[in-house]
Amino acid sequence: MAQTADLSTAGPLDVEEVRRLCGDEPDWKVQAILDSGADIAELEAAVAWAAGQDETPGSPTLSGRAAEVYEILMADAPPDEER
């Protein structure tokens, strides 16, 4: 039987993983996601929410780093440019 890696404990995200899952996001968002300390599972959950795939009645809400990444994905301007 083949073993699969537990991606949630595979270590920190890298730029390639963020770009693969998030698509063409500005560099500031990619860096903010990396700085959040989120793991692959948290990033995947945030991306699903941002795409509207998990916003069904009864689905769990995002919390912690997944919620932080969701906020980053939904932001329109870098944090230092917000008023």
**At CA 68, angle to CA 63 and CA 72, rounded to 5?**
145
Residue range 38-71, pLDDT digits in tens:
999 999 999 999 888 665 556 668 899 999 999 9
Token pair recorded at residue 39? 């793991």
Cα 55 to its chain centre, rounded Å, is 16
Domain boundary assignment for the chain = 12-78
- Res 57: pLDDT: 58
Asked if residue 26 has pLDDT above 70, the reply is yes
Phi, psi of 55 (to 5 degrees): -95, 55
Give residue 21's identity as a one-letter amino acid code: L
Q: Which residues of 14-32 are buried (b: 16+ CB within 10 A; e: fewer)?
A: eeebbeebbeebeeebbeb
Q: Give the residue-averaged pLDDT of 11-37.
A: 92
